[in-house]
Amino acid sequence: QLHSMQLAGILANKVFVMQADEKLARSRAVDSGVYQDLSTEQFDGLYTDYTRNLSQIVPLFPKQIVRCVDANREDGDIWTDVQAFCRQPPTSKAPRRPMRVAVIGPTGAGKATQCVRFAHRFNVVHISTGDILRDNVKAGTELGKKAKGFMDSGALVPSDLIVDLVKDRLTKADVKKQGCLLDGFPRAPDQAQAMVDAGLKVQRMLLIEVPDETLVERGCGRRLDPETGDIYHMKFKPPPADIMDRLVHRSDDQEEAIRNRLKGYHSQIDGIVPYFKDALVKIDGTSKPDEVFKLVARASTRW
Ligand code: AMP
């Protein structure tokens, strides 16, 4: 949901995390009538989900806009805290000039994880061509119908379908004001050429690099739980034994498919990099996401 907000250009100025003890939260929820039909067990399940989601969502916001509020107190006291924080002027570490950064890298390099974090940390509009295309496929638009076959086979969508769309998105008011993060664009030399032709410069082009053998290992071990949509990895995030039988090893995660995709990726990237020599920073994508993000953030705030 946070990702969808971000893609729609909805970015929070302040984030309040209301912290109440579970017992108190339960009694409030029941008293308010919202959850009056829930059993204690159902409420506990909701509460556990909430806590788990929260621990993943909060770190995605810039630290300086998050305020934890002790919600075990009376309404009036809580409100005083909330108001005081709302009155503080917004602080942002983002550089003044609207940032325009592109992130490129092979499938499996962790691009999506880094981009979601980046857009929140620097309050920029996240433009993911993959997401735009998937939305169009889902909505059954003309573009979606044309793109679907290419996407299903793991091929690139022809550039003429995507270039104008990106150019148009970059002229919108939110991008002009807040800057943007291009995720998955440019993905082919003619897209890089189109950017140059249109005078679309980026301050940074971050290339997340991971050796092919590591990408093959990451990809081959991936398993999808078709019931929950959860993704596991046989080595790095082993699935529980009781769901093992239903896990799916997707065809595009088989070694041959991955190696083919990588071959295509390398030939495209070699043609893209020369266009962005001055802006290019290579990022080592082999360590943990937190470590990679430190490199990404450092490279993006110094130019
Ligand atoms: P992604 O989510 O970035 O991996 O993109 C999913 C799919 O969308 C890719 O496999 C391509 O088929 C297509 N796609 C995304 N971005 C582009 C692009 N800039 N040019 C061509 N095809 C793209």
Segment 87-120, tens digit of pLDDT: 887 665 554 568 899 999 998 899 988 999 999 8
- Ligand 1: residues with CB < 6 A are 107, 129-130, 133, 150-151, 154-157, 162, 184-185, 187-188, 191
| 101-to-246, 280, 299 alpha-carbon distances in Å | 40, 10, 10
Does residue 300 have a pLDDT over 70?
A: yes
Which pLDDT does position 47 carry in this prediction? 86
List the single range of 35-39, 150-154, 205-209, 215-219 with lowest mean pLDDT.
35-39
Q: Which atom of ligand 1 is nearest to the CA of 129?
A: 16
Span from the CA of 184 to the centroid of ligand 1 (angstroms):
7
List the single range of 31-40, 84-93, 157-166 with lowest mean pLDDT.
84-93
Does residue 303 have a pLDDT over 60?
A: no
The residue to mutate among 135, 156, 181, 272, having the most atoms of ligand 1 within 8 angstroms of its beta carbon, is 156
Single out the residue of 202, 221, 204, 183 nearest to residue 105, CA to CA.
183
Single out the residue of 104, 99, 146, 100 nearest to residue 129, CA to CA.
104
Q: pTM (2 decimals)?
A: 0.70
Residue 180, burial from CB neighbour count under 10 angstroms (0-12, 13-18, 19+):
buried
Q: Is 259 a catalytic residue?
A: no
219: Cβ–Cβ under 8 A, 6 or more apart, which residues?
107, 108, 253, 255, 258
Q: Is 87 a catalytic residue?
A: no
Place of tokens 């788990």: 52
User: CA quadruple 162, 168, 174, 180: dihedral positive or negative?
Assistant: positive
**How far apart are alpha carbons 179 and 263 in whole angstroms?**
32
- If one counts every other C-beta atom within 10 angstroms of the C-beta of residue 161, the result is 17
Single out the residue of 123, 150, 158 nearest to residue 5, CA to CA.
123
Interaxial angle between packed helices 40-57 and 22-32, expressed in degrees from 0 to 180 and rounded to the nearest 10 = 120
Residue nearest to atom 3 of ligand 1 (CA): 130
Span from the CA of 149 to the centroid of ligand 1 (angstroms):
12
Residue nearest to atom 1 of ligand 1 (CA): 130
- Token readout for 165 is 């769309």
Under DSSP, is residue 17 helix (H, G, I), strand (E, B) or coil? strand
Q: Is 111 a catalytic residue?
A: yes
Catalytic: which of 100, 121, 187, 223? 187
Q: Which atom of ligand 1 is nearest to the CA of 155?
A: 12
Q: Are 157 and 125 in contact (CB under 8 A)?
A: no
For 135-147, what is each residue's pLDDT tens digit? 999 999 999 999 9
**How far apart are alpha carbons 263 and 266 in whole angstroms?**
5
- Token readout for 44 is 């506990």
54: Cβ–Cβ under 8 A, 6 or more apart, which residues?
17
Cis, peptide link before residue 186, omega less than 30° from 0: yes
Which pLDDT does position 302 carry in this prediction? 64
Residue nearest to atom 5 of ligand 1 (CA): 130
